[in-house]
Structure 1
Amino acid sequence: MNNNIFPCLWFNGDGKEAADFYCEIFNGKITADTPVVLNIKLFGQKLMFLNAGPQFEKNASISFTILCESEDEVQQYWNNLIKNGIILMDLAEYPWSKKYGWVRDQFGVTWQIYLGESKGDQRIIPTLMFIHQNNGQAKKAIEFYTSIFPNSKVGGILKYGEGVGNENHEISENIQHADFEIDHYTMFCMDNSHDHQFDFNEGISMVVMTDDQIQTDHLWNSLLLDGGRESMCGWLKDQFGVSWQIVPKRLLELMNDFDQPQKAQKVVEAMMGMQKIVIADLEHAYNS
């Protein structure tokens, strides 16, 4: 399983409470616990939580599909996630699944609980919904992402015109559901023409841990193509508005050098002034 790619969820101070909640539901564990950053593992998959304040709210433009192996498992997760949550689609039988439901939990994270075919060891699948100006762009996004990342491939693509539960009369050529892999990490996506009151934002981003500057430069430059926008500290938005964090592993090594806290702090200060992370400049700050 590729844990060099994983989602990052933005919380307004309640990240630890959410981490405990999910670890209890999914039998996970907290692997890093600081006031700002928490890492958890669910089904062996890494998720990062940022206790970063009220600036961004998570929404259903990126949800998490849970692939379940039995109806009882679906029911168990559903019963827990709907506590103080909001049901977006009732738990029921649908053309694509014998038992499926969509819920926004008490922390603002949306989950699609799905009884169906597994995707290897990966049980949690980030699911991108292309809406507003992006509606109809899901196929383009799949081609874009799989052209950038190594070890990528396009899986199944189901269009709305292919007759599986298109009650909302979506454009027939738009994608109802598709799966693809980027560097062996599975993602789902869909088009949707409903006028939702949200869109992609920094509330949920995708983190990519890189091995060196060459890989960092390639991903950074490629994801910015055709209208992407640079942000700070390794963050960027691609042409669709999806947020990515391109993070060299060396940054974490230098920042977490607990034997040299003053040097580690210099690295943090250097990183705070960067857009794309430059490893050589981090090394210089550490050694200065």
Structure 2
Amino acid sequence: MTVAKNTICLWYDKDAEAAARFYAETFPDSSVSAIHHAPGDYPAGKEGDVLTVDFTVLGIPCLGLNGGPAFTHSEAFSFQVSTEDQEETDRYWNAIVENGGQESACGWCKDKWGISWQITPRVLVEALAAGGGEAKRAFEAMMDMKKIDVAAIEAARRGH
């Protein structure tokens, strides 16, 4: 068994396995590698319950902990997913939102377990990095969006 030097631990009420399987089905370079059951009773569960899940999201090692309802997720942590085009942006956004998630602003959405995701087309990152008027126009266009519209960002970059 190989243990990653650094792993992101995500606290779930009781659905770490379902979340990990959803991420593995939705994103490339993602998988569920192990499910560990509690060796005894604990405050949020009983012996034999799924306690932790080892999984990878877009190549990032994660540990899902079924710790109970004591802590919940916030936008202070999010996965930022870089996309190449509108099709890829739509695919990830729709998978998250249509599976019990919710839309937010400026390319952010939240999955049904409360994890925040930034679905960020490369064209937006490039526009903001360009600086000047191009960045300002792209930023202003983005501020009115929920899911990022690649064509609208490209038009804003050109000044249209």
User: Which of residues 201, 223, 231 in structure 1 aligns to 2:74?
Assistant: 201
TM-score by length of 1: 0.52
User: Which of residues 111, 116, 126 in structure 2 aligns to 1:238?
Assistant: 111
Say if 1:225 and 1:239, in contact at 8 Å, map to a contact too. no
Q: Residues of 1 paired with 2:78 and 2:58: CA distance?
A: 17
Q: 1 or 2, which has the higher strand percentage?
A: 1
Q: Residues of 2 paired with 1:244 and 1:227: CA distance?
A: 14
Structure 1 gaps, min length 5 = 1-115
Q: Does 1:175 align with 2:60?
A: no
Tell me the alpha carbon deviations over residues 76-113 of structure 1, each in whole angstroms, 9 at most, x when there is no partner.
xxxxxxxxxxxxxxxxxxxxxxxxxxxxxxxxxxxxxx
Q: Residues of 2 paired with 1:232 and 1:214: CA distance?
A: 19
Tell me the C-alpha RMSD between the 2 structures: 1.9
Matching residue of 1:219:
92
Matching residue of 1:149:
27
Displacement of 1:182 = 2.3
Say if 1:225 and 1:238, in contact at 8 Å, map to a contact too. no
Q: Residues of 1 paired with 2:8 and 2:44: CA distance?
A: 25
Percent of counterpart pairs with the same letter?
33
Tell me the alpha carbon deviations over residues 38-74 of structure 1, each in whole angstroms, 9 at most, x when there is no partner.
xxxxxxxxxxxxxxxxxxxxxxxxxxxxxxxxxxxxx
Shift in CA distance, 204/284, structure 1 to aligned 2, threshold 3 Å: same
Q: Does 1:186 align with 2:68?
A: no
Say if 2:141 and 2:153, in contact at 8 Å, map to a contact too. yes
Structure 2 gaps, min length 5 = none
Displacement of 1:117 = 4.2
Displacement of 1:171 = 2.6
Q: Residues of 1 paired with 2:34 and 2:157: CA distance?
A: 47
Say if 2:21 and 2:31, in contact at 8 Å, map to a contact too. no
Displacement of 1:227 = 1.6
Say if 2:20 and 2:31, in contact at 8 Å, map to a contact too. no
Q: Residues of 1 paired with 2:101 and 2:93: CA distance?
A: 10
Displacement of 1:172 = 3.4
Which structure has the larger Rg over C-alpha atoms?
1
Q: 1 or 2, which has the higher helix percentage?
A: 2
Q: Does 1:129 align with 2:11?
A: yes
Shift in CA distance, 247/175, structure 1 to aligned 2, threshold 3 Å: same
Q: Residues of 1 paired with 2:61 and 2:126: CA distance?
A: 27
Say if 2:23 and 2:31, in contact at 8 Å, map to a contact too. no
Q: Does 1:256 align with 2:142?
A: no
Q: Residues of 2 paired with 1:227 and 1:204: CA distance?
A: 19
Shift in CA distance, 262/190, structure 1 to aligned 2, threshold 3 Å: same
Higher relative contact order (CA 8 A, sep 6+): 2
Say if 2:104 and 2:146, in contact at 8 Å, map to a contact too. yes
Q: Residues of 2 paired with 1:201 and 1:182: CA distance?
A: 18
Q: Residues of 1 paired with 2:6 and 2:83: CA distance?
A: 22
Matching residue of 1:266:
137
SS in 2 for 1:124: coil
TM-score by length of 2: 0.89
After the TM superposition, list the runs of 4 or more consecutive aligned residues in structure 1 that deviate by more than 6 angstroms.
Answer: none
Displacement of 1:201 = 1.2
Aligned residues: 159
Q: Does 1:247 align with 2:120?
A: yes
Matching residue of 2:18:
140
Say if 2:44 and 2:67, in contact at 8 Å, map to a contact too. no
